[in-house]
Chains A and B, each alone.
Chain A
Amino acid sequence: MCKYNAKQMLFRYSNLKQGNQHADKTDMRNANRLPNMRNLGIALRILIIANTVLILIAYTLSTSLTDFLERIATISMYAQPMLLTSLLVLYSGYPLIIKLNYRQGIITILIMVMLCNAIIYSLFTQFWLFNDLPQLSRMLVCVFAVSALTLYYFNLRQRAYSPAIAEARLQALQARIRPHFLFNSINAVLSLIRSQPKQAETALEDMADLFRVLMADNRELVPLAQEIALCRQYLALEKLRLNERLNIQWQIDNMPPDALIPPLILQPLLENAVYHGIEPLAGGGIINIQIYTRQNEIHLILTNPYNTQNNHHNGNKMALNNIKERLTLHFDLEATLKSKQENGEYEVHITLPHQKQNL
């Protein structure tokens, strides 16, 4: 019954949101549909696609294995510098490209790639680096075809993923309003009302803030400091119920507060840690949260005591998969989530690229 109500509330909420968002929906979609040229995963995919085409051309033209390898070598000699330069140009031009709408963006990318290739071609001819360069016009046709193909692939990929994004959001919401936490917290607040009305007020305010974030449209990245503040409010509520059983160790002195992360990455992990790690222990335990940057990467490490014997951890997996999915949607290959369990401890380690407020 409770589940049904939550779902209903959710739908009503998402309908409401849709109305408000109509205005800014278009440009958000366009920015998202263009591949992020600053993402390692995207760059790798481009390299793989272009090189596959290159190998196929060499294979079609060749007569034997040695001939095939020779052809690859000769084509690579001028093709690879062109490919890498194009990627570099797109990387530096990316902030400009995302300001355009989708169609303009695609045209700009194609023009940039063609121009870039033409310039390199003319440099090559000027300095007589290669004596058997193909005709410029033929090469540009080839470059155009490969670029168009690649862009089309990214378009398809984006389309394949967009229902997944919506799905993930809904799933995320459902997974996160853990009824166990909600009802126990309300119960705790009720117990405070008579004896400590002031504390009850604060608790209800925390709860309101928490649920505001839980129910928001969580597609956009938020500053790390904001997520930490949310976690503190959440933990204050849990502390109400568990009191001295719940101990938190924050090691976040080297944390970049303005780094952007997907919202609700840390909070569900904490909720898991409390539910699976602290609650089963009569004497309680310590949750350790460590956040730091290293080599332009943010590391979030969360450890909690874990007793395998009295745990059925299906809910845990669900939350982890959910976070993993959202990290992939935002950062592709650049973000990882690893979890391990040893010596009665459970550790989750998230690594994600350090993205600052204004790109």
Chain B
Amino acid sequence: MLKILIADDEAPARSRLRDLLTDIGNLQIVGEAKNGKEALQLAEDMQPDIILLDIRMPEMDGIEAAQHLQKLVRPPAVIFTTAFDNYAIQAFDMNAVDYLLKPIRQERLQTALQKTRALLPQQLAALQPLSPQRTHLTITERGRILLVPIADIIYLRAELKYITVRTAEREYLIEESLTHLEHEFDNLFIRLHRNCLVSTAYILGYEKRSNEEQGEKQWVALLKNVPETVTVSRRQQHLIRMS
């Protein structure tokens, strides 16, 4: 029996899908989510085969949720649903991504359920411009997926293969490229050092400190909520003057 997860922020839209799925029969609705974040959590707990994912949702939209879903051990097949979204529909058509237009017809839904399969990495990459900035970073830890809100991140520091994600509470490790992150969140983070992106919202100020190893004074950024500081490299010192 197919296990299906519904994700839509509007209650009537969810109830309509429930009605249609019940009519089709021989499947099980394992959960209903009101936004992308809930969908991700439910998907992890319930392990659905298929997720019906609305595009426009608060907190985290469907496109971003689909990208995070990919990190699950057994990612569900994704069928996007939308009332109207020209850009998304174009992208779906171009990359053969399954989608349904609301109001959804029963026959269409039935066909979609039969032929669906998990999204391919290149399909996800093609959809990325539709949701240009993630609201969360996903971190895989001991088989679980953790969501770290971008707004909670104080700095991102590249260390060898990994990137340390620092929040007020703790540190996480992710495997991504710092350049890519810098590009994606260029309105929120600045690069104070070759290996470090700092959230502008958490910078308290700058201070000149003497560095014992090199014997010369160096600028450092003081940060909200954490004791450590971030060194500002010589090349980035013009940023201090700007702020």
Contact check, B13 vs A195: say whether CB atoms are below 8 A apart.
no
B85 — which chain A residues lie within 8 A by C-beta? 180
Bound complex: CA A67 to CA B163 (Å): 81
Q: From residue A47, how far is it (CB to closest CB) to chain B in Å? A: 49
**Count of residues in A whose CB is under 8 Å from the partner chain:** 24
Contact check, A187 vs B16: say whether CB atoms are below 8 A apart.
yes
A103 interface contact, C-beta 8 A: no
Contact check, B102 vs A187: say whether CB atoms are below 8 A apart.
yes
Contact check, A279 vs B19: say whether CB atoms are below 8 A apart.
no
Bound complex: CA A184 to CA B104 (Å): 11
Q: From residue B149, how far is it (CB to closest CB) to chain A in Å? A: 11
Cross-interface CB contact of A183 among B59, B84, B135, cutoff 8 Å: B84
Bound complex: CA A243 to CA B10 (Å): 8
Per-residue B-contact encoding for A172-196, CB less than 8 Å = 1, 0 else: 0000000110111011101110110
B135 — which chain A residues lie within 8 A by C-beta? 310
Contact check, B11 vs A243: say whether CB atoms are below 8 A apart.
yes
Contact check, B103 vs A190: say whether CB atoms are below 8 A apart.
yes
A180's closest neighbor in chain B, by CB? B84
A191 — which chain B residues lie within 8 A by C-beta? 12-13, 15-16, 19
A119 interface contact, C-beta 8 A: no
B16 — which chain A residues lie within 8 A by C-beta? 187-188, 190-191
In A165-221, the 8 Å CB interface with B consists of: 179-180, 182-184, 186-188, 190-192, 194-195
Secondary structure call for the A interface: helix
B58 — which chain A residues lie within 8 A by C-beta? 279-282, 310
Contact check, A184 vs B19: say whether CB atoms are below 8 A apart.
no
Secondary structure call for the B interface: loop
Contact check, B10 vs A242: say whether CB atoms are below 8 A apart.
yes
Per-residue A-contact encoding for B1-43, CB less than 8 Å = 1, 0 else: 0000000011111011001000000000000001100000000
Contact A241 to B10, CB < 8 A, known contacts A187-B16, A190-B16, A282-B35: yes
B35 — which chain A residues lie within 8 A by C-beta? 282
Contact check, A241 vs B84: say whether CB atoms are below 8 A apart.
no
B56 interface contact, C-beta 8 A: yes
Contact check, A195 vs B15: say whether CB atoms are below 8 A apart.
yes
A44 interface contact, C-beta 8 A: no
Contact check, A187 vs B12: say whether CB atoms are below 8 A apart.
yes
B146 interface contact, C-beta 8 A: no
A16 interface contact, C-beta 8 A: no
Per-residue A-contact encoding for B59-71, CB less than 8 Å = 1, 0 else: 1000000000000
Bound complex: CA A281 to CA B60 (Å): 10
B10's closest neighbor in chain A, by CB? A241
Q: From residue A189, how far is it (CB to closest CB) to chain B in Å? A: 8
Per-residue A-contact encoding for B97-112, CB less than 8 Å = 1, 0 else: 0000111100000000
Contact check, B12 vs A186: say whether CB atoms are below 8 A apart.
no
B9 — which chain A residues lie within 8 A by C-beta? 279, 282
Cross-interface CB contact of B103 among A183, A194, A195, A241, cutoff 8 Å: A183
In B90-133, the 8 Å CB interface with A consists of: 101-104
A310 — which chain B residues lie within 8 A by C-beta? 58, 135
Bound complex: CA A340 to CA B19 (Å): 43
Bound complex: CA A207 to CA B27 (Å): 34
B204 interface contact, C-beta 8 A: no
B168 interface contact, C-beta 8 A: no
Q: Considering the complex of A and B, which 10 residue pairs feature the smallest CB-CB distances, nearest first?
A: A191-B16, A183-B83, A188-B12, A191-B12, A179-B84, A282-B58, A187-B103, A184-B83, A187-B102, A241-B10
Residues of A within 8 A of B (CB): 2-3, 179-180, 182-184, 186-188, 190-192, 194-195, 240-243, 279-282, 310
